[in-house]
């Protein structure tokens, strides 16, 4: 008898009281749209956004445990309209809530005002408590902070004192104990490795050590069986990986190790780059040559997969292969094309270059918009988005660099022009993620990482083209980045790279000679393999007419030669590849 009364008491006070009476139907999920908020107003309900990633383990757990819970379902059905968004499909919403990670849970009122913003997995009891609290008091909670207001810089140049502060912050961001840049989650931060490598090549021995340590420990995130890079490791070390494999991570890891091989000529870095390339080729490449988005962390959704990824190939395949998201986005393809160009630059492997060109032509055929821009996916409900045209512009510029084919330079210019027309921020500096806001209650804002990439892309494009509009785009992005609140945000390396490139010319190598001349090709491949990441490498074939940018007048020699130039002078003709390599090495100091 006492046990029965205890059970009744539990049912009366539990957030799940009444679960045994009936099983509510599953939550009906809707797509994000302004119509949802209009419906919420008519029905006097709130809007709950579940911003997920299809590769995300804890998103699967939320679906399996939290959103299947009867109490949560009843509350949702009574007072909420449920919206589910795959963050990879909507870069605008993803960038808006990027600080929250996935899953992110956001509750809005019918006017689009935020009430609650929560990060990560919410178990059923906690979710039910939040849903009830909002019903009882719909005023914004402590997770919704007032939007920060600040005045953008009026110049694209970082003030000297601010630049000194940003450099000092960079020095603090290396984890001396756990190794690598950033603390807590351990991942390969490509920009920090790249900036430290620049300093190392200038003689900073400490930064060279840190680059080596980071690349060594990041190898623990590489799958030794199938290849590819896991997203990150938790616990402050490199030994607890989350096993999802995003194309973005593959592109960053492949490019970083390929560049490291070019800089340091250590064979293990090339092997690491090829590890990732093998995985992408086998698992994330479609039959049309375009690249898929990601591979799930879980074989069984919601179940940890550490034991699975400890197995060999045969045992894994006997259990099954984690799901691959086979959407084909222009942005993701641009990332990988650019990385394949980096790999080709240090290997001269024609098959790698063919992969990059094949993917570029597929995107041009299936995602191109008028006037040089690109759609995200096949059936976008929003956009266009800055990231797609930006990534493809960078990919085109990379293809021009490694081929000397002016078709690609033309496409890069068209992409820059599309960005300038469609994504200028109305706030005086920078570029915004999307041409239209996510909803009527939200004002568009520039995003830091995207503006770093815009600045770097347009700066390098201006070096190759000499077009003033390229420099104007770079300057507008830099005005946003030179704003103190933006410059001092985490991490510092992206700002320092953008600033360094905007204020300094690249190492400039021009090869003169026929595209069919083996001696000219040998010099060109030497320049690609050994020049620093920030470089202007050109192949001028006099048979094609004047060079793409005629800021330097080269003598017509009648034979293959290289010229190494600075802002004020060029070398005498260099015909020996080893001598060119030595001269390039000296120019980096």
pLDDT of residue 10: 38
Same domain, residue pair 93 and 186: no
pLDDT digits (tens, 9 = 90+) for 198-209: 999 999 999 999
Residues 257 and 319 in one domain: yes
**Are residues 123 and 183 both part of a single domain?**
no
Q: Tell me: do 128 and 20 sit in the same domain.
A: yes
Residues in the chain: 589
CA 532 to chain centre: 22
pTM as predicted: 0.95
118 and 184 together in one domain: no
Contacts of 517 (CB under 8 A, 6+ apart): 560
Query: d(Cα 201, Cα 467) in Å, to the nearest integer?
Result: 30
Q: Is the pLDDT of residue 144 over 80?
A: yes
| 8 Å CB contact between 448 and 486 | yes
Alpha helices in 66-121 (DSSP H): 70-79, 91-96
The string of pLDDT tens digits covering residues 392-434 is: 999 999 999 999 999 999 999 999 999 999 999 998 899 999 9
On whether residue 485 sits in a domain, the answer given is no
User: For residue 70, is it within any domain?
Assistant: yes
pLDDT at 133 over 70: yes
Convert the pLDDT of each residue in 513-529 to its tens digit.
Answer: 999 999 999 999 999 99
User: What is the band of 5 on the pLDDT scale with cuts at 50, 70, 90?
Assistant: very low
Q: Let me know whether 210 and 321 are in one domain.
A: yes
Does residue 173 lie in a domain region?
no
Domain annotation covers residue 536: yes
Minimum mean pLDDT range among 28-42, 279-293, 565-579 = 565-579
Averaged pLDDT of the chain:
95
The average pLDDT across 241-259 equals 98
Contact 30, 36 (CB under 8 A): yes
Residues 115 and 197 in one domain: no
110 with 225, same domain?
no
Spatial contact of 90 and 96, defined as CB atoms under 8 Å apart: no
Task: Output DSSP code: residue 63.
Answer: I
Tens digits of per-residue pLDDT, 76-118?
A: 999 999 999 999 999 999 999 999 889 999 999 999 999 999 9
Q: How many domains does the chain have?
A: 3
Domain assignment of residue 489, yes or no: no
Q: Residue 18's pLDDT band (boundaries 50, 70, 90)?
A: very low
Residue-wise pLDDT tens digits, 320-351? 999 999 999 999 999 999 999 999 999 999 99
User: Per-residue DSSP letters for 126-165?
Assistant: HHHHHHHHHHH--S--TTSPPPP--PPPSSSSPPHHHHHH
Same domain, residue pair 132 and 207: no
Domain co-membership, 280 together with 187 = yes
Q: What is the CATH number of the domain that holds 550?
A: 3.40.30
**Where does 370-504 have alpha helices with state H?**
386-403, 406-422, 448-465, 468-481, 484-487, 493-503
Q: How far is CA 98 from CA 51, 91, 585, in A?
A: 10, 10, 39
| Res 147: pLDDT | 80
Residue 268 lies in a domain: yes
DSSP 101: -
The answer as to whether 274 is a domain residue is yes
**Cβ atoms 99, 144 nearer than 8 A:** no
Residue 92: inside a domain? yes
Angle, CA of 572, 573 and 579, to the nearest 5°:
95
Q: What is the pLDDT of residue 19?
A: 46
Kindly report the CATH number assigned to the domain that includes residue 124: 3.40.30.10
Same domain, 73 and 201: no
Among 302, 327, 352, the domain-final residue is 327
Q: What is the share, in percent, of the chain residues with pLDDT greater than 70?
A: 96
One domain, residues 313 and 192: yes
pLDDT at 2 over 90: no
d(CA 54, CA 33) in angstroms, rounded, equals 20
pLDDT computed for residue 21 by the predictor: 57
pLDDT category, 4, cuts 50, 70, 90? very low
| Domain termination site, one of 74, 107, 136 | 136
Please determine, for residue 20, whether its predicted confidence score (pLDDT) is greater than 90. no
Q: Which residue segment(s) compose the domain that 529 sits in?
A: 508-587
Cis peptide before 272 (omega within 30 of 0): no
């Amino acid at each position: 008898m006492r046990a029965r009364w205890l059970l009744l008491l539990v049912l009366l006070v539990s957030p799940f009281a009444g679960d045994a009476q009936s099983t509510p139907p599953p939550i009906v999920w809707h797509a994000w749209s302004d119509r949802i908020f209009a419906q919420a107003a008519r029905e006097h309900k709130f809007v709950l956004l579940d911003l997920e990633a299809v590769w995300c383990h804890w998103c699967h757990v939320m679906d399996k445990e939290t959103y299947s819970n009867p109490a949560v379902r009843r509350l949702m059905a009574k007072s909420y309209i449920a919206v589910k968004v795959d963050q990879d499909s909507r870069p605008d919403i993803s960038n808006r809530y990027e600080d929250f990670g996935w899953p992110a849970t956001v509750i809005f009122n019918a006017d689009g005002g935020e009430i609650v913003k929560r990060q990560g997995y919410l178990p059923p009891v906690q979710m039910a408590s939040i849903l009830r609290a909002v019903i009882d008091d719909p005023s914004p909670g402590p997770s919704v902070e007032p939007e920060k207001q600040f005045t953008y810089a009026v110049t694209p140049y970082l003030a000297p004192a601010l630049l000194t502060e940003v450099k000092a912050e960079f020095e603090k961001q290396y984890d001396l104990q756990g190794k690598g840049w950033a603390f807590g989650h351990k991942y390969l931060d490509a920009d920090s490795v790249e900036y430290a490598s620049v300093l190392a090549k200038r003689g900073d021995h400490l930064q060279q050590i840190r680059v080596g340590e980071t690349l060594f420990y990041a190898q623990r995130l590489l799958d030794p069986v199938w290849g590819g890079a896991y997203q990150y490791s938790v616990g402050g070390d490199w030994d607890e990986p989350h096993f999802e494999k995003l194309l973005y991570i593959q592109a960053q890891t492949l490019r970083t190790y390929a560049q490291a091989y070019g800089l340091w000529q250590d064979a293990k870095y090339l092997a690491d780059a090829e590890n990732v390339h093998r995985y992408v080729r086998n698992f994330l490449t479609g039959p049309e040559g375009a690249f898929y988005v990601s591979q799930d962390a879980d074989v069984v959704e919601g179940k940890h997969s550490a034991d699975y990824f400890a197995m060999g190939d045969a045992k894994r395949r006997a259990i099954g292969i984690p799901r691959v998201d086979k959407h084909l986005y222009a942005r993701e393809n641009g990332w990988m094309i650019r990385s394949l160009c980096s790999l080709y630059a240090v290997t001269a492997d024609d098959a790698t270059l063919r992969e990059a060109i094949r993917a570029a032509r597929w995107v041009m055929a299936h995602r191109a918009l008028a006037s040089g821009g690109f759609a995200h996916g096949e059936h976008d409900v929003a956009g266009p988005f800055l990231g797609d045209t930006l990534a493809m512009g960078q990919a085109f510029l990379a293809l021009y660099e490694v081929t000397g084919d002016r078709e690609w330079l033309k496409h890069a210019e068209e992409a820059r022009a599309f960005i300038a027309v469609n994504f200028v921020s109305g706030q005086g500096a920078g570029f915004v993620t999307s041409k239209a806001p996510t909803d009527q209650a939200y004002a568009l804002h520039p995003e830091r990482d995207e503006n770093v990439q815009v600045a770097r892309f347009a700066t390098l494009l201006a070096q190759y083209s000499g077009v003033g509009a390229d420099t104007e785009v770079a300057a507008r992005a830099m005005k946003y980045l030179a704003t103190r609140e933006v410059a001092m945000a985490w991490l510092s390396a992206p700002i320092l790279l953008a600033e360094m490139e905007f204020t300094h010319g690249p190492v400039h190598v021009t090869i003169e000679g026929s595209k069919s001349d083996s001696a000219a090709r040998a010099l060109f491949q030497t320049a690609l393999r050994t020049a620093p990441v920030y470089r202007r490498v050109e192949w001028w074939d006099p048979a094609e007419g004047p060079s793409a940018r005629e800021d330097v007048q080269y003598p017509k020699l009648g034979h293959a030669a290289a010229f190494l130039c600075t802002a004020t002078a060029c070398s005498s003709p260099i015909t020996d590849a080893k001598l060119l390599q030595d001269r390039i090495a000296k120019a980096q100091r």
